[in-house]
Amino acid sequence: MTDQNELLKRAARVLPGGVLGNHRSGPGLEFVVKEGRGAYLWDTNGRRYLDYLLGSGPMVLGHAHPAVVEAVLRQVGRGTSYMLLNEPAIELAEELVRAVPCAEQVRYTSSGTEATFFALRVARAFRARDKILKFEGGFHGTHDYGMMSVAPRSPKAFPAPMADSAGIPHAIQGEVLVAPYNDLATAEALIAAHHAELAAVIVEPYQRTIVPAAGFLPGLRAATRRYDVPLVFDEIVTGFRFAYGGAQEYYGVVPDLAAYGKVMAGGFPLACVAGPKALMRHFDAALEGTPEYVWQAGTFNGNAIAAAAGLATLAELRKPGAYERLFRTGTRLRDGLAAAVRKHGLAAQVSGEPPVFDIFFTDRPIVDYRATLTADRERIKRFNAELLRRGVVKAVNKIYVSLAHTDEDVNATLEVFDQALGALAAGA
Protein backbone atom coordinates (compact mmCIF):
# COMPACT_ATOMS: atom_id res chain seq x y z
CA MET A 1 0.00 0.00 0.00
CA THR A 2 1.39 3.41 -1.03
CA ASP A 3 1.61 5.85 1.86
CA GLN A 4 -1.04 8.55 1.44
CA ASN A 5 1.21 11.36 2.61
CA GLU A 6 3.74 10.37 -0.02
CA LEU A 7 1.02 10.41 -2.69
CA LEU A 8 -0.04 13.88 -1.60
CA LYS A 9 3.56 15.08 -1.87
CA ARG A 10 3.82 13.58 -5.35
CA ALA A 11 0.58 15.29 -6.36
CA ALA A 12 1.87 18.65 -5.10
CA ARG A 13 4.91 18.30 -7.37
CA VAL A 14 3.04 17.61 -10.59
CA LEU A 15 -0.44 19.16 -10.13
CA PRO A 16 -0.98 22.91 -9.55
CA GLY A 17 -1.97 23.25 -5.91
CA GLY A 18 -1.72 19.49 -5.55
CA VAL A 19 -5.37 19.00 -6.60
CA LEU A 20 -7.38 18.28 -9.76
CA GLY A 21 -9.39 21.51 -9.76
CA ASN A 22 -10.73 24.01 -7.27
CA HIS A 23 -12.12 21.45 -4.78
CA ARG A 24 -9.96 21.30 -1.69
CA SER A 25 -10.65 19.36 1.50
CA GLY A 26 -8.65 21.79 3.65
CA PRO A 27 -5.26 21.88 5.37
CA GLY A 28 -4.42 18.52 6.85
CA LEU A 29 -7.62 16.97 5.48
CA GLU A 30 -6.67 16.13 1.89
CA PHE A 31 -6.87 12.46 1.00
CA VAL A 32 -6.34 10.27 -2.05
CA VAL A 33 -9.24 8.08 -3.18
CA LYS A 34 -8.50 4.42 -3.73
CA GLU A 35 -12.02 3.30 -4.62
CA GLY A 36 -15.69 4.15 -4.45
CA ARG A 37 -18.57 1.70 -3.98
CA GLY A 38 -22.17 2.61 -3.38
CA ALA A 39 -22.40 5.60 -1.04
CA TYR A 40 -18.79 5.27 0.15
CA LEU A 41 -15.24 6.26 -0.70
CA TRP A 42 -12.08 4.64 0.65
CA ASP A 43 -8.75 6.44 0.79
CA THR A 44 -5.36 4.83 0.21
CA ASN A 45 -4.94 4.37 3.97
CA GLY A 46 -8.13 2.31 4.09
CA ARG A 47 -10.36 4.89 5.78
CA ARG A 48 -14.02 4.86 4.69
CA TYR A 49 -16.06 8.03 4.02
CA LEU A 50 -19.77 8.62 3.44
CA ASP A 51 -19.83 10.44 0.11
CA TYR A 52 -22.11 13.42 -0.58
CA LEU A 53 -19.78 14.89 -3.19
CA LEU A 54 -20.59 12.05 -5.61
CA GLY A 55 -18.02 13.12 -8.17
CA SER A 56 -19.62 16.61 -8.13
CA GLY A 57 -22.99 15.08 -8.83
CA PRO A 58 -22.95 12.44 -11.58
CA MET A 59 -23.01 9.40 -9.29
CA VAL A 60 -26.73 9.55 -8.51
CA LEU A 61 -26.80 5.72 -8.36
CA GLY A 62 -23.69 5.65 -6.17
CA HIS A 63 -20.24 4.42 -7.15
CA ALA A 64 -19.67 1.27 -9.23
CA HIS A 65 -23.35 0.46 -9.61
CA PRO A 66 -23.55 -3.13 -10.88
CA ALA A 67 -25.74 -2.28 -13.89
CA VAL A 68 -23.40 0.50 -14.99
CA VAL A 69 -20.29 -1.61 -14.46
CA GLU A 70 -21.80 -4.44 -16.50
CA ALA A 71 -22.76 -2.11 -19.36
CA VAL A 72 -19.31 -0.52 -19.45
CA LEU A 73 -17.45 -3.82 -19.36
CA ARG A 74 -19.63 -5.14 -22.15
CA GLN A 75 -18.81 -2.12 -24.30
CA VAL A 76 -15.08 -2.07 -23.47
CA GLY A 77 -14.72 -5.43 -25.13
CA ARG A 78 -16.02 -3.90 -28.34
CA GLY A 79 -13.67 -0.93 -28.37
CA THR A 80 -13.41 2.32 -26.53
CA SER A 81 -13.60 5.27 -28.93
CA TYR A 82 -14.46 5.57 -32.62
CA MET A 83 -15.39 9.22 -33.33
CA LEU A 84 -18.07 7.66 -35.53
CA LEU A 85 -21.73 6.83 -35.08
CA ASN A 86 -22.26 3.95 -32.71
CA GLU A 87 -25.32 2.17 -31.36
CA PRO A 88 -25.06 3.29 -27.69
CA ALA A 89 -24.74 6.94 -28.75
CA ILE A 90 -27.81 6.70 -30.99
CA GLU A 91 -29.84 4.90 -28.31
CA LEU A 92 -28.86 7.44 -25.65
CA ALA A 93 -29.80 10.34 -27.97
CA GLU A 94 -33.18 8.70 -28.56
CA GLU A 95 -33.73 8.37 -24.81
CA LEU A 96 -32.70 11.97 -24.18
CA VAL A 97 -35.19 13.17 -26.80
CA ARG A 98 -37.92 11.10 -25.16
CA ALA A 99 -37.09 12.45 -21.71
CA VAL A 100 -36.31 16.14 -22.26
CA PRO A 101 -39.35 18.31 -23.03
CA CYS A 102 -37.47 20.85 -25.21
CA ALA A 103 -35.47 18.24 -27.15
CA GLU A 104 -36.07 17.12 -30.71
CA GLN A 105 -32.37 16.56 -31.27
CA VAL A 106 -29.18 16.52 -29.21
CA ARG A 107 -25.56 17.31 -29.96
CA TYR A 108 -22.97 15.60 -27.79
CA THR A 109 -20.04 17.28 -26.07
CA SER A 110 -17.55 15.89 -23.55
CA SER A 111 -18.27 18.26 -20.66
CA GLY A 112 -20.91 20.57 -19.23
CA THR A 113 -18.69 23.56 -19.94
CA GLU A 114 -18.70 22.66 -23.64
CA ALA A 115 -22.46 22.06 -23.59
CA THR A 116 -23.31 25.53 -22.27
CA PHE A 117 -20.69 27.12 -24.53
CA PHE A 118 -22.18 25.53 -27.65
CA ALA A 119 -25.75 26.20 -26.53
CA LEU A 120 -24.84 29.89 -26.51
CA ARG A 121 -22.99 29.62 -29.82
CA VAL A 122 -25.94 28.00 -31.56
CA ALA A 123 -28.27 30.63 -30.08
CA ARG A 124 -26.01 33.34 -31.54
CA ALA A 125 -26.13 31.64 -34.93
CA PHE A 126 -29.92 31.41 -34.76
CA ARG A 127 -30.44 35.01 -33.62
CA ALA A 128 -27.52 36.58 -35.50
CA ARG A 129 -26.84 38.54 -32.31
CA ASP A 130 -23.90 38.48 -29.87
CA LYS A 131 -24.94 39.47 -26.34
CA ILE A 132 -26.14 37.10 -23.66
CA LEU A 133 -27.90 37.71 -20.37
CA LYS A 134 -27.01 35.55 -17.40
CA PHE A 135 -27.78 35.66 -13.69
CA GLU A 136 -25.38 36.70 -10.97
CA GLY A 137 -24.04 33.65 -9.13
CA GLY A 138 -25.03 31.28 -11.94
CA PHE A 139 -22.28 28.84 -12.92
CA HIS A 140 -22.25 27.66 -16.53
CA GLY A 141 -18.83 26.07 -16.70
CA THR A 142 -15.41 27.60 -17.14
CA HIS A 143 -15.56 29.10 -20.64
CA ASP A 144 -15.10 32.86 -20.91
CA TYR A 145 -18.80 33.73 -21.07
CA GLY A 146 -19.69 31.35 -18.23
CA MET A 147 -17.06 32.80 -15.91
CA MET A 148 -18.75 36.16 -15.64
CA SER A 149 -20.20 37.25 -12.27
CA VAL A 150 -20.23 33.73 -10.84
CA ALA A 151 -18.71 34.71 -7.50
CA PRO A 152 -17.88 38.43 -7.36
CA ARG A 153 -16.86 39.53 -3.87
CA SER A 154 -17.80 43.18 -4.56
CA PRO A 155 -20.47 43.04 -7.28
CA LYS A 156 -21.04 45.91 -9.67
CA ALA A 157 -24.41 47.53 -10.33
CA PHE A 158 -26.56 45.46 -12.69
CA PRO A 159 -26.18 44.66 -15.55
CA ALA A 160 -22.37 45.12 -15.50
CA PRO A 161 -20.45 41.81 -15.40
CA MET A 162 -17.25 40.94 -13.56
CA ALA A 163 -14.75 38.36 -14.77
CA ASP A 164 -14.12 35.57 -12.24
CA SER A 165 -10.85 34.37 -13.74
CA ALA A 166 -7.58 35.72 -14.99
CA GLY A 167 -7.03 35.31 -18.70
CA ILE A 168 -10.53 36.30 -19.88
CA PRO A 169 -10.42 38.93 -22.65
CA HIS A 170 -11.79 42.28 -21.52
CA ALA A 171 -13.88 42.39 -24.70
CA ILE A 172 -16.09 39.60 -23.33
CA GLN A 173 -17.46 41.94 -20.67
CA GLY A 174 -19.11 43.96 -23.41
CA GLU A 175 -21.06 40.89 -24.55
CA VAL A 176 -22.55 39.80 -21.21
CA LEU A 177 -25.38 41.36 -19.22
CA VAL A 178 -26.00 40.27 -15.63
CA ALA A 179 -29.31 40.19 -13.76
CA PRO A 180 -30.17 39.20 -10.19
CA TYR A 181 -31.64 35.70 -9.86
CA ASN A 182 -35.26 35.59 -8.64
CA ASP A 183 -35.79 39.27 -9.53
CA LEU A 184 -38.21 38.97 -12.43
CA ALA A 185 -38.86 42.70 -12.75
CA THR A 186 -35.19 43.50 -13.29
CA ALA A 187 -34.75 40.61 -15.73
CA GLU A 188 -37.85 41.66 -17.69
CA ALA A 189 -36.60 45.25 -17.86
CA LEU A 190 -33.17 44.21 -19.11
CA ILE A 191 -34.65 41.89 -21.73
CA ALA A 192 -37.02 44.63 -22.90
CA ALA A 193 -34.20 47.18 -23.12
CA HIS A 194 -31.66 44.93 -24.84
CA HIS A 195 -33.72 42.38 -26.78
CA ALA A 196 -32.61 43.72 -30.15
CA GLU A 197 -29.00 42.73 -29.36
CA LEU A 198 -29.59 39.63 -27.23
CA ALA A 199 -28.72 36.18 -28.60
CA ALA A 200 -29.92 34.29 -25.51
CA VAL A 201 -30.81 34.31 -21.85
CA ILE A 202 -29.10 31.51 -19.93
CA VAL A 203 -30.11 30.43 -16.44
CA GLU A 204 -29.69 27.61 -14.00
CA PRO A 205 -33.39 26.99 -13.33
CA TYR A 206 -32.29 26.03 -9.82
CA GLN A 207 -29.29 28.26 -9.22
CA ARG A 208 -26.65 26.32 -7.27
CA THR A 209 -28.86 25.57 -4.20
CA ILE A 210 -31.28 28.51 -4.57
CA VAL A 211 -34.90 27.59 -5.31
CA PRO A 212 -36.64 29.67 -7.99
CA ALA A 213 -39.28 32.01 -6.56
CA ALA A 214 -42.90 31.41 -7.54
CA GLY A 215 -43.45 32.89 -10.98
CA PHE A 216 -39.79 33.57 -11.73
CA LEU A 217 -39.20 30.86 -14.33
CA PRO A 218 -42.64 31.22 -16.01
CA GLY A 219 -42.12 34.99 -16.13
CA LEU A 220 -38.67 34.56 -17.65
CA ARG A 221 -40.12 32.19 -20.22
CA ALA A 222 -42.83 34.70 -21.13
CA ALA A 223 -40.38 37.63 -21.40
CA THR A 224 -37.97 35.78 -23.68
CA ARG A 225 -40.78 34.44 -25.84
CA ARG A 226 -42.24 37.96 -26.20
CA TYR A 227 -39.05 39.08 -27.95
CA ASP A 228 -38.11 35.77 -29.63
CA VAL A 229 -34.93 35.53 -27.54
CA PRO A 230 -33.92 31.88 -26.93
CA LEU A 231 -34.11 30.81 -23.29
CA VAL A 232 -31.36 28.36 -22.33
CA PHE A 233 -31.65 26.15 -19.25
CA ASP A 234 -28.37 24.93 -17.80
CA GLU A 235 -29.52 21.52 -16.58
CA ILE A 236 -26.07 20.08 -15.98
CA VAL A 237 -26.95 19.66 -12.28
CA THR A 238 -30.75 19.32 -12.41
CA GLY A 239 -30.97 17.02 -15.43
CA PHE A 240 -32.27 13.56 -14.41
CA ARG A 241 -31.81 14.58 -10.76
CA PHE A 242 -34.99 16.50 -10.01
CA ALA A 243 -37.14 14.38 -12.32
CA TYR A 244 -36.63 12.18 -15.34
CA GLY A 245 -37.39 15.23 -17.49
CA GLY A 246 -35.12 17.43 -15.36
CA ALA A 247 -36.01 20.87 -14.02
CA GLN A 248 -38.19 21.40 -17.11
CA GLU A 249 -40.50 18.69 -15.85
CA TYR A 250 -40.07 19.48 -12.14
CA TYR A 251 -40.83 23.20 -12.44
CA GLY A 252 -43.11 22.93 -15.47
CA VAL A 253 -41.27 25.46 -17.66
CA VAL A 254 -39.83 24.47 -21.05
CA PRO A 255 -36.88 26.47 -22.50
CA ASP A 256 -35.73 26.69 -26.12
CA LEU A 257 -32.37 24.99 -25.48
CA ALA A 258 -30.88 23.04 -22.61
CA ALA A 259 -27.48 21.75 -21.59
CA TYR A 260 -27.29 18.32 -19.93
CA GLY A 261 -24.41 16.46 -18.31
CA LYS A 262 -23.37 14.71 -15.09
CA VAL A 263 -26.16 12.16 -14.40
CA MET A 264 -26.87 11.47 -18.08
CA ALA A 265 -23.45 9.82 -18.50
CA GLY A 266 -23.36 7.70 -15.36
CA GLY A 267 -19.97 8.98 -14.19
CA PHE A 268 -18.26 9.28 -17.56
CA PRO A 269 -17.34 12.47 -19.47
CA LEU A 270 -20.32 13.14 -21.72
CA ALA A 271 -22.79 16.02 -22.01
CA CYS A 272 -25.06 17.48 -24.66
CA VAL A 273 -27.00 20.41 -26.05
CA ALA A 274 -30.69 19.59 -26.49
CA GLY A 275 -33.25 21.56 -28.44
CA PRO A 276 -35.69 21.78 -31.36
CA LYS A 277 -34.64 21.09 -34.92
CA ALA A 278 -35.07 24.75 -35.86
CA LEU A 279 -32.12 25.66 -33.63
CA MET A 280 -30.15 22.40 -33.77
CA ARG A 281 -30.01 22.57 -37.60
CA HIS A 282 -27.10 25.01 -37.25
CA PHE A 283 -24.90 22.05 -36.20
CA ASP A 284 -25.66 20.18 -39.43
CA ALA A 285 -22.49 19.78 -41.53
CA ALA A 286 -24.64 20.21 -44.65
CA LEU A 287 -24.51 23.94 -43.83
CA GLU A 288 -20.70 24.03 -43.81
CA GLY A 289 -19.43 27.02 -45.74
CA THR A 290 -22.53 29.11 -45.02
CA PRO A 291 -22.89 31.89 -42.40
CA GLU A 292 -25.38 29.71 -40.51
CA TYR A 293 -23.06 26.81 -39.75
CA VAL A 294 -21.88 26.18 -36.18
CA TRP A 295 -18.66 24.19 -36.18
CA GLN A 296 -18.69 21.76 -33.28
CA ALA A 297 -16.66 18.59 -32.97
CA GLY A 298 -14.83 16.64 -30.28
CA THR A 299 -12.79 13.47 -30.26
CA PHE A 300 -14.83 11.88 -27.46
CA ASN A 301 -18.29 13.25 -28.29
CA GLY A 302 -20.75 10.37 -28.29
CA ASN A 303 -18.15 8.06 -26.79
CA ALA A 304 -19.65 4.57 -26.76
CA ILE A 305 -18.52 3.72 -23.22
CA ALA A 306 -19.98 6.92 -21.76
CA ALA A 307 -23.19 6.40 -23.73
CA ALA A 308 -23.47 2.81 -22.47
CA ALA A 309 -23.00 4.01 -18.89
CA GLY A 310 -25.63 6.69 -19.45
CA LEU A 311 -28.15 4.21 -20.83
CA ALA A 312 -27.66 1.92 -17.84
CA THR A 313 -28.03 4.83 -15.42
CA LEU A 314 -31.21 6.11 -17.03
CA ALA A 315 -32.70 2.61 -17.03
CA GLU A 316 -32.24 2.50 -13.25
CA LEU A 317 -33.84 5.92 -12.86
CA ARG A 318 -36.88 4.79 -14.85
CA LYS A 319 -37.63 2.07 -12.33
CA PRO A 320 -40.78 2.72 -10.27
CA GLY A 321 -40.14 4.61 -7.06
CA ALA A 322 -36.60 5.76 -7.90
CA TYR A 323 -37.29 9.49 -7.62
CA GLU A 324 -39.60 9.05 -4.65
CA ARG A 325 -36.77 7.28 -2.84
CA LEU A 326 -34.21 9.91 -3.83
CA PHE A 327 -36.46 12.71 -2.57
CA ARG A 328 -37.32 10.84 0.61
CA THR A 329 -33.64 10.39 1.44
CA GLY A 330 -32.83 13.99 0.58
CA THR A 331 -35.74 15.34 2.58
CA ARG A 332 -34.62 13.46 5.70
CA LEU A 333 -31.09 14.81 5.33
CA ARG A 334 -32.10 18.37 4.53
CA ASP A 335 -34.73 18.63 7.25
CA GLY A 336 -32.47 16.87 9.75
CA LEU A 337 -29.72 19.40 9.07
CA ALA A 338 -32.19 22.25 9.59
CA ALA A 339 -33.34 20.68 12.88
CA ALA A 340 -29.73 20.44 14.08
CA VAL A 341 -29.24 24.13 13.24
CA ARG A 342 -32.21 25.02 15.43
CA LYS A 343 -31.02 22.71 18.23
CA HIS A 344 -27.67 24.46 18.44
CA GLY A 345 -29.10 27.96 18.07
CA LEU A 346 -26.93 28.89 15.08
CA ALA A 347 -27.71 31.62 12.59
CA ALA A 348 -27.98 29.50 9.47
CA GLN A 349 -30.26 28.65 6.56
CA VAL A 350 -30.59 25.25 4.86
CA SER A 351 -31.31 26.05 1.23
CA GLY A 352 -32.35 23.86 -1.65
CA GLU A 353 -34.35 20.94 -3.00
CA PRO A 354 -33.97 17.46 -1.47
CA PRO A 355 -31.67 15.94 -4.15
CA VAL A 356 -29.04 18.69 -3.66
CA PHE A 357 -28.92 21.38 -0.97
CA ASP A 358 -26.54 23.11 1.45
CA ILE A 359 -26.22 25.27 4.54
CA PHE A 360 -25.48 29.01 4.70
CA PHE A 361 -24.43 30.57 7.98
CA THR A 362 -26.56 33.72 7.85
CA ASP A 363 -29.90 35.03 9.16
CA ARG A 364 -30.88 36.21 5.70
CA PRO A 365 -33.14 34.05 3.47
CA ILE A 366 -31.18 32.70 0.50
CA VAL A 367 -33.02 34.08 -2.52
CA ASP A 368 -30.15 35.25 -4.72
CA TYR A 369 -26.37 35.44 -4.95
CA ARG A 370 -26.05 38.63 -2.91
CA ALA A 371 -27.88 36.96 -0.04
CA THR A 372 -25.16 34.29 -0.02
CA LEU A 373 -22.54 37.02 0.49
CA THR A 374 -23.98 37.65 3.96
CA ALA A 375 -23.05 34.10 4.99
CA ASP A 376 -20.01 33.43 7.17
CA ARG A 377 -17.47 31.85 4.79
CA GLU A 378 -15.21 30.71 7.59
CA ARG A 379 -18.05 28.84 9.28
CA ILE A 380 -18.91 26.84 6.16
CA LYS A 381 -15.23 25.94 5.81
CA ARG A 382 -15.20 24.83 9.46
CA PHE A 383 -18.44 22.90 9.02
CA ASN A 384 -17.11 21.07 5.97
CA ALA A 385 -13.88 20.30 7.83
CA GLU A 386 -15.76 19.01 10.90
CA LEU A 387 -17.77 16.69 8.65
CA LEU A 388 -14.66 15.40 6.94
CA ARG A 389 -12.93 14.71 10.25
CA ARG A 390 -15.93 12.52 11.08
CA GLY A 391 -15.85 10.70 7.74
CA VAL A 392 -18.46 12.63 5.71
CA VAL A 393 -17.45 14.18 2.37
CA LYS A 394 -19.42 16.96 0.69
CA ALA A 395 -18.81 19.58 -1.97
CA VAL A 396 -17.64 23.03 -0.93
CA ASN A 397 -21.14 24.39 -1.46
CA LYS A 398 -23.42 21.40 -2.07
CA ILE A 399 -24.67 18.19 -0.48
CA TYR A 400 -25.55 15.73 -3.27
CA VAL A 401 -27.85 12.81 -2.47
CA SER A 402 -27.81 9.41 -4.20
CA LEU A 403 -29.99 6.33 -4.44
CA ALA A 404 -27.18 4.41 -2.76
CA HIS A 405 -27.61 6.25 0.55
CA THR A 406 -29.52 4.00 2.92
CA ASP A 407 -31.60 4.84 5.99
CA GLU A 408 -28.62 3.74 8.09
CA ASP A 409 -26.37 6.12 6.15
CA VAL A 410 -28.83 8.95 6.75
CA ASN A 411 -28.96 8.18 10.49
CA ALA A 412 -25.16 8.22 10.67
CA THR A 413 -24.98 11.45 8.68
CA LEU A 414 -27.54 13.22 10.85
CA GLU A 415 -25.49 12.30 13.89
CA VAL A 416 -22.40 13.78 12.25
CA PHE A 417 -24.35 16.94 11.31
CA ASP A 418 -25.31 17.30 14.97
CA GLN A 419 -21.74 16.79 16.16
CA ALA A 420 -20.27 19.19 13.59
CA LEU A 421 -22.77 21.96 14.38
CA GLY A 422 -22.23 21.35 18.07
CA ALA A 423 -18.51 21.89 17.58
CA LEU A 424 -19.21 25.14 15.73
CA ALA A 425 -21.61 26.34 18.41
CA ALA A 426 -19.08 25.55 21.13
CA GLY A 427 -16.39 27.52 19.33
CA ALA A 428 -18.62 30.47 18.42
Sheet strand arrangement including 392-394: 33-37, 40-43, 48-52, 392-394
Mean pLDDT of 398-407: 98
Q: Which domain holds residue 168?
A: 66-317
Q: Do residue 255 and residue 157 come from a single domain?
A: yes
Q: Is the pLDDT of residue 2 over 80?
A: no
- DSSP state string for 248-298: HHHHT---SEEEE-GGGGTTSS-EEEEE-HHHHGGG-GGGTTSTT------
Number of neighbours of residue 422 by Cβ within 10 angstroms: 15
Residues 420 and 336 in one domain: yes
Residues 159 and 85 both lie in one domain = yes
**Residue scoring higher pLDDT (157 or 22):** 157
Alpha helices in 145-287 (DSSP H): 184-194, 216-226, 246-251, 277-280
- Rg from Cα positions in the chain: 22
Split into its structural domains, the chain has a count of 2
Q: How confident is the model at residue 30 (pLDDT cuts 50, 70, 90)?
A: confident
Q: Which of 298, 317, 336 is the C-terminal boundary of a domain?
A: 317
Query: Taking CA 110 as the corner, what is the angle to CA 116 and CA 176, rounded to the nearest 5 degrees?
Result: 20
Same domain flag for 203 and 268: yes
Q: How much is the average pLDDT of 276-300?
A: 96
Say what percent of the chain tops pLDDT 70. Answer: 98
Are 198 and 226 a contacting pair, CB within 8 Å?
no
Answer with the one of 297, 317, 337 that is the final residue of a domain.
317
Q: What is the sign of the dihedral through the CA atoms of 222, 225, 229 and 230?
A: positive
Cis? peptide before 159, omega within 30° of 0: yes
Answer for the pair 191, 227: CB distance below 8 angstroms, yes or no.
Answer: yes
The dihedral through the CA atoms of 273, 168, 12, 53 has a sign that is negative
pLDDT band at 307 (very low <50, low <70, confident <90, very high): very high
Cα(248)–Cα(258) distance, integer angstroms: 9
Would you tell me how many other CB atoms lie within 10 Å of the CB of residue 295? 11
Same domain for 83 and 35? no
Helices (H), 318-355: 322-343
Q: In this structure, what CATH number is given to the domain that contains residue 155? A: 3.40.640.10
**Model confidence pLDDT, tens digit, residues 113-148:** 999 999 999 999 999 999 999 999 999 999 999 999
Query: 390 burial class (0-12, 13-18, 19+ CB within 10 angstroms)?
Result: middle
Of 308, 267, 241, give the one whose Cα is nearest residue 91: 308
pLDDT per residue as tens digits for the range 151-208 = 998 899 999 999 999 999 999 999 999 999 999 999 999 999 999 999 999 999 999 9
Among candidate residues 294, 317, 340, the one where a domain is terminated: 317
Supply the pLDDT for residue 1: 64
Same domain, 384 and 281: no
25 pLDDT above the threshold of 90: no
Q: How confident is the model at residue 428 (pLDDT cuts 50, 70, 90)?
A: low
83 phi/psi in degrees, rounded to 5: 55, 30
Q: Are residues 109 and 31 in the same domain?
A: no
Encode pLDDT of 39-66 as tens digits. Answer: 999 999 999 999 999 999 999 999 999 9
Residue 427: per-residue pLDDT: 80
Residues 63-97 pLDDT 10s = 999 999 999 999 999 998 999 999 999 999 999 99
Same domain, 313 and 172: yes
Query: Domain of 13: which CATH number?
Result: 3.90.1150.10
**Model pLDDT for residues 224-259, shown as the tens digit of each residue:** 999 999 999 999 999 999 999 999 999 999 999 999
Strands (E), 64-181: 105-109, 131-135, 176-179
Per-residue model confidence (pLDDT) at position 18: 86
Residues 46 and 152 in one domain: no
What pLDDT, on the 0 to 100 scale, is given for residue 121?
98
Q: How many helices (H) and strands (E) does the chain have?
A: 13, 14
Q: What is the pTM of this model?
A: 0.96
How far apart are the C-alpha atoms of 99 and 374, rounded to whole Å?
38
Q: Cβ(323)–Cβ(299) under 8 Å?
A: no
DSSP state at residue 173 = G
Mean of the per-residue pLDDT values of the chain: 96
Residue 40: the pLDDT is 98
Q: Is the domain of 146 the same as that of 100?
A: yes
Instruction: Examine the domain organization and report whether 229 and 293 are in the same domain.
Output: yes
Average pLDDT for residues 12-30, to the nearest whole number? 80
Supply the pLDDT for residue 21: 77
Q: Which stretches of 141-196 are assigned E, i.e. beta strand?
A: 176-179
Strands 48-52 and 392-394, bridge-based pairing: parallel
Taking the alpha carbons of 62, 64, 70, 75 in that order, is the dihedral positive or negative? Answer: positive
- Do residues 280 and 131 share a domain? yes
Q: Report which secondary-structure segment, H or E, holds 200.
A: strand 198-203
pLDDT digits (tens, 9 = 90+) for 308-330: 999 999 999 999 999 999 999 99
Tell me the percentage of the chain whose pLDDT exceeds 90: 92
